[in-house]
Structure 1
Amino acid sequence: MADLIFYTNPMSRGRIVRWMLEELGQPYETRVLNYGPEMKAADYRALNPMGKVPTVVHGEAVVTECAAICIYLAEAFPQAGLSPAPSTPARAAFLRWMFFAAGPVETAVVNKSFGFALPDDPQAHTRAGWGSFDDVCDALEAMLSDGRDYVTGEAFSAADVYVGAQIGWGLQFGTLPERPGFRRYAEALATRPAAIRAREMDDALMNDGGQ
């Protein structure tokens, strides 16, 4: 049995973690859970109380939430070179944009997709930690506006898996606006061998009915 166990569904954010796992190049076991009773079962909720995927179990460690999983795996397998050295400008960018994507980007995109809008109140954007959808998109675009290939500006890292997946999905499903920086960045990352393998594996599971 592999030391890494990956709980997922091919029609979920687990696709992000699949990509991250493929970048690591480490063996792992995939356990696919169907939506509904299987994902809400007590034995799985003991690992992830939300009854959602993905979840990664590494020995005795249990990690949920895609951004947290990406950071954990990058640090657990430093030989992959996916986590910048501590207390460096690259590490600062890594953490900054990883959490920006997990917080403001995720919130702004989901709220907009459901048609939620902030109250017409001058203080609303200040009180809301994510500001506004336009603010989020502008900040993300500014990060990529200097033509940088990677979040840290130096090398590919786990932050590119998470941020890149968010932007790629946003463009695919129309939840992020079409901007040149977004398109250039997402298309370049999509050609990575690990990204291609991950897509093919999850697409095959979808074609098999998720089993």
Structure 2
Amino acid sequence: MKLYNNLQSRGMTLFPLLKELGIEDQIEQIQVAYADMHQAEYTSINPMGKVPCLVDQGVVISELAAIFTYLADKYIEKGLAPALGDPKRGAYLKWMFFCHGPLTEYMDMKGLHISNEQMEGKRSSLTFGNEDSVFSFLKKGMQQANPYLLGEKISAADLYLAYWLVFAISFKILPYLDEFRPYIQLIAQRDSMKDVPWFQKIND
């Protein structure tokens, strides 16, 4: 497998997953400079000109949530994804694609300093609705975590969500709500998160 990435990109989110799966040495890491992302050599692989992008036996997987889901399923024996027949599979996918869709869209708009009033005016056309909806969804999920999103076992969805929560809190995109603290502190104890700077900052 080849993973096209950039150390300043969202692809950094994948590193804890690779550690949890124990496959770091099975993936060839290819760093793509931002200046090269829209050059023909790379767009022939991913026409979107974005990283990360995983290539496995000629199959190109180009979206972050898709790469998470693909790898967790490929190494299903590691226990980071519910099997297809598992009732928890639905909740697992819900969280994976909430992160990739509504949460990411909300974070991007906040990063562009779009006001809550402007977002409210476009509520019907936004995947996240409005800020209150995002916070309500996250709070309920954190309150129901026992201790992880799907119960007693951690999943790839936990790794994905926790990374984005901590990143957003570190850059003041999201507040560090009390409802988030037990969950984030739990994930921060994982060996796979020890080298993630956002986790160290937030728990200092």
TM-score with structure 1 setting the length: 0.83
Instruction: Give me the whole-angstrom Cα distance separating, in 1, the residues matched to 2:22 and 2:188.
Output: 17
Instruction: Give me the whole-angstrom Cα distance separating, in 1, the residues matched to 2:137 and 2:47.
Output: 33
Instruction: Give me the whole-angstrom Cα distance separating, in 1, the residues matched to 2:34 and 2:14.
Output: 18
* Aligned residue number for residue 35 of structure 1: 34
* Aligned residue number for residue 18 of structure 2: 21
Matched, 1:45 2:43: yes
AA in 1 matched with 2:32: L
* Aligned residue number for residue 144 of structure 2: 146
Tell me if structure 1 keeps the 8 A contact 2:107–2:173.
Answer: yes
Higher RCO (CA-CA < 8 Å; seq separation 6+): 1
Instruction: Give me the whole-angstrom Cα distance separating, in 1, the residues matched to 2:152 and 2:83.
Output: 12
Instruction: Give me the whole-angstrom Cα distance separating, in 1, the residues matched to 2:82 and 2:32.
Output: 33
Unaligned runs of 5+ in 2: 198-204
Question: 1:110: how far off?
Answer: 1.0
Query: Which of 122, 125, 137 matches 2:123?
Result: 125
> Compared with structure 1, are the counterparts of its residues 82 and 145 closer, same or farther at alpha carbon in structure 2 (3 Å cutoff)?
same
1:1-211 to 2 correspondence within 5 Å? Answer: 4-26=1-23, 27-36=26-35, 38-117=36-115, 124-196=122-194, 199=196
Instruction: Give me the whole-angstrom Cα distance separating, in 1, the residues matched to 2:118 and 2:53.
Output: 38
- SS of 2:45's equivalent in the other structure is coil
Unaligned runs of 5+ in 1: 201-211
AA in 1 matched with 2:46: N
Question: 1:194: how far off?
Answer: 2.0
Instruction: Give me the whole-angstrom Cα distance separating, in 1, the residues matched to 2:57 and 2:119.
Output: 49
- SS of 2:144's equivalent in the other structure is coil
Question: 1:53: how far off?
Answer: 1.0
Q: What does the per-residue CA deviation read over 1:56-78, in whole Å, with 9 as the maximum and x for residues that have no partner? A: 11112111111110000011111
TM-score with structure 2 setting the length: 0.86
AA in 2 matched with 1:167: L
Counting aligned pairs with the same residue, the percent is: 33
Moved over 3 A (4+): 117-124
Question: 1:122: how far off?
Answer: 8.0
Tell me if structure 1 keeps the 8 A contact 2:13–2:160.
Answer: yes
Tell me if structure 2 keeps the 8 A contact 1:149–1:185.
Answer: yes
Tell me if structure 2 keeps the 8 A contact 1:112–1:133.
Answer: no
Instruction: Give me the whole-angstrom Cα distance separating, in 2, the residues matched to 1:160 and 1:149.
Output: 10
Tell me if structure 1 keeps the 8 A contact 2:96–2:161.
Answer: yes
Question: 1:10: how far off?
Answer: 1.3
Question: 1:117: how far off?
Answer: 4.1
Question: 1:119: how far off?
Answer: 6.4
Instruction: Give me the whole-angstrom Cα distance separating, in 2, the residues matched to 1:90 and 1:172.
Output: 30
